[in-house]
Structure 1
Amino acid sequence: MTEIQCTRPILGFAAFSGTGKTTLLEKLIPVLTESGLNIAMIKHAHHNFDIDKPGKDSYRLRKAGASQMLISSRFRHALITETPDKEPSLTELVQRLDLSSIDLVLVEGCKTEILPKIELRRDVLGKEWLHKSDSNFIAVACDTPELETSLPILNINNVEDIARFIHEWIKAHDSIENN
């Protein structure tokens, strides 16, 4: 796997199923956007999904054989691309984003990809630590108050602290990019 290339800071949130990745991001994104950041979000799903509704024109046209279906209105647009032969890489997905108005790309899932990531972990699940076998983790957000790691430890239940960490990480990322 190669490192994900992106002209904007890109940050992953990785954890085992049931940890609460989506729940945390649902609370974190408003805090980040209220602070002035424009966010792009990529969510990886391990299962088949459909965002189009049966019976709607776009669904009918896609099911008729269109390999790409772009639906647009005054309020939003969505491109649905059929990928029956292979799952698109994270790099391919990032290339589909309009980064011109984005300050930060967040990625949910993709825990094995090479990109900066925050590990989310809840002790009750009893899963192993991901950061111990992957040097791409930049912090751990967990409910374990004492943890032996050199990484910053964030409280998974404190969205404001996580947002502060992300802002500091973006500043450091931007200063590296500008040098």
Structure 2
Amino acid sequence: MTGVNVLGVVAGPEPGGRTATAVAGVLAGAAKVGASTSLLELSESGADAVIAAFATTDAVVFGSPVYRATYSALLKDLLERTERGKWGEKSAPLQGKVAATVLTGASGHHFLAVGDLRNVLAGFFAVQVLSPGLYFDHGGYVDRSTLTEDSAALAAAHGAALADLAAAVKSSEALQAITPQV
């Protein structure tokens, strides 16, 4: 998987925690198959730094806790500020990229929020999104910084699949050229 760069973006209100742990698990799977990985926490880096980092990556792991059945306001703000190359915008930093989604919550009741984030990324930004997305509730963790063995294996499998998808998209001019319709 040489030459594939994967960026993890954690959109929790504080650095660290369960969402960062889950995103790190996906990045570990990508690194295991040879991808270069990095992680940015929106609460520390800010949206501008994350948007700038999109330029040097082939894939993004978007991680967020779920609040009121949707992803965090930090992630919403990031996506609102990310241009799509439409309506006079000068850039489209997510065009030709792939993404994985990792949401975390207190219980399994909010897992459908994964679909909402996937729809925004695929429909609004024309990002190729790895499906299904991941959702981990408290049962997926040993503690705040350790996934259970099964959760870690699932996260790593998603990371390896994301790296494969990124390599496929990176090698396809047609897939890189897809833009949002509207």
TM-score range for the pair, normalised by the shorter chain length: 0.3 to 0.5
Q: TM-score, normalised by structure 1?
A: 0.44
Q: Which has the larger radius of gyration?
A: 1
